[in-house]
Amino acid sequence: MTFPSDLEIARAASPKPLPEVAAAMGIGEHLLRPYGRDLAKIDLAAVDELADRPPARYVVVTAITPTPLGEGKTTTTVGLGQAMSHIGRRAVISLRQPSMGPTFGIKGGAAGGGYSQVIPMEQLNLHLTGDFHAVTAAHNLLSAMVDNHLHHGNARGLDLHQITWRRVLDVNDRALRNIVVGLGSRLDGVTRQTGFDITAASEVMAILALATDLGDLRRRLGRIVVGYTRDGEPVTAEDLEAAGSMAVILRDALEPNLLQTLENTPVIVHTGPFGNIAHGNSSIVGDLIGIRGGDYLITEAGFGADMGAERFFNIKCRASGLVPDAAVVVATVRALKAHSGRYTIAAGKPLPPELLEENPDDVLAGAANLTKQIDNVRRHGVTPVVAVNAFPTDHPSEHEAIARVAADAGVRVAVCTHFSEGGAGAVELARAVEEACAEPSEFRFLYPDEAPLTTKIETVATEIYGAGAVDYTPAARRQLAAYEAAGFGHLPVCIAKTHLSISGDPTLKGAPTGHTLTVREARASVGAGFVYPICGDMRTMPGLASRPAATRIDLDDDGEIVGLS
C-alpha cells in the first residue's frame, strides 16, 4: 500500500471550527479576525486578556547539525504537540511561516509531514494571511525612500558605497543577487550597485519576530540603519522619515496567525526569519499569547542547536523575558551517518544506497555531533531530551546505538514514529519532555549584555562551535570597533555561518574542535537588535535548481492544487 502524500493527508483532515480551537486556549471569539474558514489572526489584546492565566511549560525543539535535506524538526514539533493530548496535557505549538522561495525550490513547504502536519497545508505554504508580502512591501518602501533621498540631493550625505539596505523578494532568484539601479536618464534616479535578498532575510522580518507590541515595532523600525555617511555616521529609517509608513504597512502583520494540526492542536504561525543571518525563530508576540494558552508551549528553532537554539536562548529569550524549561534535540540515523564523514548527502539528489544499509557503527562514528549539541543546550542551563525521528529505512540496531549515546550523555531519549502515526507515535517523547520540564530550571545566557562584541563572538565560537581561536579580517575589526563606538556594543551577536557544520566550514562533520573561526565582515541589524558577524559566504538570495518544485506544482481540471509538498 502506498503511503499517501502530505497533501492527500491534509485534505482528508477534519478541522475543528477555529473558535473552538481558540477557546481551548482561553481566547474568545472577539479576539479572532477570520481569514476564510480555517485561518484567523489573533488580536494583540489577547496578550493582556490572558495575562492572569498560569504560564505553560516552555519547550524549544532543536536538532543535531542537519543534512541538506533537513531532519524533521517541524514534523517532530507538531508530533510532540499532538502527543501531549494523548497523555492528558494541553499543548500550543508556535512555528515560523514557510517562505515561498523554498516552497517552489527544493526544500518544499514547512507544514510538517505525514500525520504530524499543520492545516490548512496549502494556505500555510502559499501566502497564508499575507504577512510575508507585508514585510516585502515595508522593506521595499524603505529601499525606495533611500533612492528617492539620493535623487533629491542626499541631504543626509549617504555614501553610495556604504548603503547597506537592499531590496527583497519572496522568490528564489539568483539573477537578482547583484544589480544596478538608476539606469536610464537623470530622472530615473542615482546609478548605483545594490541587490535583492529573499524576504525571510530582511531585517524587517527579524524585527517583526522580536517586537513585543506595536510601539516596540515602531521604535525598532526607526532604528534600522540603511547606510553610513563618508564620516561613518549611521543613517536610519527615522532619519529618512520612512519608519512610520513602514509600521502602518506592518500593523496587521504583527498579529499572529492561528491554525491547527491534523489532531486539532492549536498552532500559532508567525514570521519567518532567515536561519543563517537572523535568529531563525518564530515571533515573541506569538509566544506571549501561546505561553498562557495551555500546559505546554512548544516552539521550534532553525537549524542545529549551535545556531537556532543558541539564538533562541541568547537573542529571543533575552528580548521576550520568557524562560525555557526543556529542549528537544532531534536526531536521525541518516544525519548521524553523514557526520561519520563516510557519506555525501546533496539536496535534490537520492540518498546513497549504502546509507540505508544497517550499520550502527556508522551511527556511532557520527555521534559526536549529537553529544556536542546536547552539551550546547546544557551550557544554557536547559535540560535536553533526544528525539529520534525514525524513518522506515532505519534499523532497530541503529536506534539502539543512538539510545546508548543519549544514555552515556545522561539524557532522556525517545524513538518517534509521529510521521506515520501522528501524536500516538510521539507519546514516549511527550512523557520524557514532561519529566524534563519537572526538573528545576537553571536557565542562563551565554554572555552578559555589557561584554564587548569580540568577547561575545569568541564565547559563542569556543563554547558552542568548539573553535580554538577566532580570526578577524581588518575590515571586520574596523566594523566591530565602529559598532562599539556607535553604541551598539550592548547588542547580542548572531553569527552568520554555514548550517551544515558546527564549525564555520561546511566540510567539517561531527564535532570538530580546535578550528579557527574567521570573521570576514560584520553588520548591524540595529532595529532587530543584534550584530551579525559573517563567517563564510552566506547566500541571502537562494537560486533555483535545474528541476525546482515550481515545475511540479499546478492546478488540476477541478482547480485543486497538485504537486505541493
Q: Is the dihedral of CA 73, 76, 82, 85 positive or negative?
A: negative
Q: Are 88 and 103 in contact (CB under 8 A)?
A: no
Write a three-state SS string for 372-433: HHHHHHHCCCCEEEEEEECCCCCCHHHHHHHHHHHHHHCCEEEEECHHHHHHHHHHHHHHHH
CATH number of the domain enclosing 506: 3.10.410.10
Q: Are 262 and 119 in contact (CB under 8 A)?
A: yes
**Residue 435 resides in a domain:** no
144: domain range? 131-252
> How large is the angle between the packed helices 243-250 and 131-151, nearest 10 degrees?
160
CB contact set of 99 (below 8 Å; sequence gap of 6+): 132, 170, 198, 199, 200, 272
Check residue 275 and give its pLDDT: 84
Average pLDDT over residues 389-406: 96
Check residue 1 and give its pLDDT: 59
Q: Are 414 and 388 in contact (CB under 8 A)?
A: yes
> How large is the angle between the packed helices 243-250 and 203-210, nearest 10 degrees?
60
pTM for the structure as a whole: 0.95
Where a domain ends, among 200, 220, 252?
Answer: 252
**Residue 225 resides in a domain:** yes
DSSP at 30: G
Cα torsion through 402, 406, 412, 416, rounded to 10:
-20
Check residue 103 and give its pLDDT: 87
The pLDDT of residue 428 is above 80: yes
Per-residue pLDDT band at 305 (split at 50, 70, 90): very high
Average pLDDT over residues 26-34: 97
**Residue 336 resides in a domain:** no
Q: Are 322 and 310 in contact (CB under 8 A)?
A: no
Query: What are the distances in angstroms from CA 459 to CA 277, 291, 513?
Result: 18, 30, 14
Distance of alpha carbon 151 from the chain centroid: 37
CA separation for the pair 182, 199 (Å, rounded): 22
Q: Are 530 and 492 in contact (CB under 8 A)?
A: yes
Check residue 345 and give its pLDDT: 82
**Residue 21 resides in a domain:** no
**Residue 190 resides in a domain:** yes
Question: Taking CA 329 as the corner, what is the angle to CA 120 and CA 70, rounded to the nearest 5 degrees?
Answer: 55
Which tens digits make up the pLDDT trace of 46-70?
999 999 999 999 999 999 999 887 8
Question: How many C-beta atoms lie closer than 10 Å to residue 494's C-beta?
Answer: 26
Check residue 204 and give its pLDDT: 98
Per-residue pLDDT band at 336 (split at 50, 70, 90): very high
Q: What is the mean pLDDT of the chain?
A: 95
The pLDDT of residue 439 is above 90: yes
User: All 3 cell numbers of residue 537?
Assistant: 559566504
Q: Are 418 and 75 in contact (CB under 8 A)?
A: yes
Number of domains in the chain: 2
> How large is the angle between the packed helices 368-378 and 396-409, nearest 10 degrees?
40
Question: How many C-beta atoms lie closer than 10 Å to residue 555's C-beta?
Answer: 10
CATH number of the domain enclosing 154: 3.30.1510.10
Which tens digits make up the pLDDT trace of 188-235?
999 999 999 999 999 999 999 999 999 999 999 999 999 999 998 999
Q: Are 94 and 322 in contact (CB under 8 A)?
A: no
User: All 3 cell numbers of residue 167?
Assistant: 531590496
CA separation for the pair 83, 77 (Å, rounded): 10
Residue 297 dihedral angles phi and psi, to the nearest 5°: -110, 120
How much of the chain exceeds pLDDT 90, in percent?
87
Q: Are 272 and 261 in contact (CB under 8 A)?
A: no
Where a domain ends, among 237, 252, 267?
Answer: 252
The 10 Å CB-count burial string (b at 16+, else e) for 261-282 is: bbbbbbbbbbbbbbbbbbbbbb
Check residue 539 and give its pLDDT: 83
**Residue 440 resides in a domain:** no
Which tens digits make up the pLDDT trace of 246-276?
999 999 999 999 999 999 999 999 999 988 8
How much of the chain exceeds pLDDT 70, in percent?
100
DSSP for 198-259, written as a single string: EGGG-HHHHHHHH--SHHHHHHHHHH-EEEEETT--EEETTTTT-HHHHHHHHTGGGSPEEE
CA separation for the pair 388, 334 (Å, rounded): 11
Check residue 108 and give its pLDDT: 77
How do 516-519 and 469-472 pair as beta strands?
parallel
Place of cell 500500500: 1
Cα torsion through 363, 369, 374, 379, rounded to 10:
160
Query: What are the distances in angstroms from CA 302 to CA 275, 277, 454, 514?
Result: 6, 11, 24, 25
Average pLDDT over residues 386-405: 96
Check residue 504 and give its pLDDT: 95
Check residue 110 and give its pLDDT: 83
Check residue 102 and give its pLDDT: 85
Check residue 441 and give its pLDDT: 83
Where a domain ends, among 229, 252, 275?
Answer: 252
Average pLDDT over residues 485-510: 94
Which tens digits make up the pLDDT trace of 79-135?
999 999 999 999 999 999 999 888 888 777 788 999 999 999 999 999 999 999 999
User: All 3 cell numbers of residue 154?
Assistant: 542626499
The 10 Å CB-count burial string (b at 16+, else e) for 43-70 is: bbebbebbeeeeebbbbbbbbbbbbbbb
Report CA Rg, the chain: 23
**Residue 465 resides in a domain:** yes
Can you say whether residue 140 is alpha, beta or left, with left for phi > 0 and alpha for psi between -120 and 50 degrees? alpha
CA separation for the pair 169, 166 (Å, rounded): 10
**Residue 279 resides in a domain:** no
Q: Are 324 and 61 in contact (CB under 8 A)?
A: no
Q: Is the dihedral of CA 147, 148, 151, 156 positive or negative?
A: negative
